[in-house]
Amino acid sequence: MPYLIYMPENDELLLLFLSERPTRALLSRSRDRGATWTEPVYMHVDSSGKPDTPGATSLTYLGAGKAMLIVAEGQTDWNWFSDDFGHSWQRVPRPQASPGKPFLVWDPLYVDKETKPGEVQRLAETGYVSI
């Protein structure tokens, strides 16, 4: 399940994809519009350098170097956020969509922006609840 975003401020593509068993989130970059790509790196690693992010979805570009994604298809109470074009990621709280049931997400979020670069008015997310 690859996800691709274009970050116009630095003319760069960022690709999120899944690999290995257990599934891990990997990132690769292109600065020449997809002609060549960097070696894949884990989206995030723990203090010992081991990957600590399972399957990830919904890579979304918010503008002004800010990006976000969802780990484990919404089965956690946090998302991941980057404010440096996806070079580093921090956990951020995730609003609860359906109390007591995982909200499963696949698609990038809809971003409604204001006129100022990087200013987001609202995000919309689609998904489903497994019954």
According to the model, what pLDDT value does residue 27 have? 96
According to the model, what pLDDT value does residue 59 have? 94
- pLDDT digits over 25-57, tens only? 999 999 999 999 999 999 999 999 998 887 788
Average pLDDT, the chain: 85
According to the model, what pLDDT value does residue 42 have? 93
Q: Is 57 helix (H, G, I), strand (E, B) or coil?
A: strand
Residues of the chain with pLDDT under 70: 72-77, 95-100, 117-118, 131
- List the structure tokens of 97: 């969509």
Place of tokens 């990132």: 27
E-state strands within the chain: 3-7, 12-19, 24-30, 41-42, 56-63, 66-71, 78-82, 90-93, 103-104, 110-113, 120-124, 128-129
